[in-house]
Amino acid sequence: LGNVPCLDASHEKLVLELSNTTATSSYRLWFYQTCTEFGFYQTCEDTSCPFSRMLTIQSQTELCSRLFDIPQDRLPVHIDFTNQYYGGNQPQTQRVLYVNGNKSRWILLSLYQGTVMVIRWN
Ligand SMILES: *[C@@H]1O[C@H](CO)[C@@H](O)[C@H](O)[C@H]1NC(C)=O
Ligand SMILES: *[C@@H]1O[C@H](CO)[C@@H](O)[C@H](O)[C@H]1NC(C)=O
């Protein structure tokens, strides 16, 4: 691939990027939502995970207090509120098609009932 330089994939670089309030990247916004609404973190804590074991729930949620002054112990309350508000796994929706790839980890945020597609017609 030519002379492509190595990427700085350090935790500190991530913190710097997420601290930048003028950046146009939506990642900071998404991260804020994980702290205030979803709590959806990708971690690598079990032995079958081939990536860094430093990606833990603790290291992820610690960023909520560091970046946004949102205490880690508030996350369960925020997540519970979101699930209550939107209905969790039983949203009161109509005419919605939930399409999932069953190898996608995002499936956990969708309505999944053992099939890749769930139709809530009425
Ligand atoms: C923040 O992001 C903007 C836009 O991408 C960039 O121009 C600026 O250099 C960044 N600031 C820091 C401190 O990284
Ligand atoms: C994904 O789909 C395949 C093919 O239908 C099926 O064999 C497999 O059990 C599914 N996996 C999950 C997690 O639903």
pLDDT for the residue 74? 95
Query: Is 24 touching ligand 1 by the criterion CB < 6 Å?
Result: yes
List, for residues 18-48, the tens digit of each pLDDT value: 999 998 888 899 999 999 999 988 889 989 9
48 and 66 part of one domain: yes
74 and 35 part of one domain: yes
pTM: 0.76
pLDDT over 70 percentage in the chain: 95
41 and 68 part of one domain: yes
- Among 27, 53, 31, 51, which residue's Cα sits nearest to residue 41? 31
Structural domain total, the chain: 2
pLDDT at 5 over 80: yes
75 and 110 part of one domain: no
H or E segment to which residue 57 belongs: helix 57-68
pLDDT at 61 over 90: yes
Question: The tokens of 78 are what?
Answer: 């925020």
Distance between Cα 23 and ligand 1 center (Å): 5
- State the ligand closest to the CA atom of 15: 1
**What is the span of the domain harbouring residue 63?**
1-88
Query: Is 94 touching ligand 1 by the criterion CB < 6 Å?
Result: no
Dihedral, CA of residue 43, residue 45, residue 46 and residue 52, to nearest 10 = 90
**Ligand 1, pocket-test mutation among 22, 26, 27, most atoms within 8 A of CB:** 22
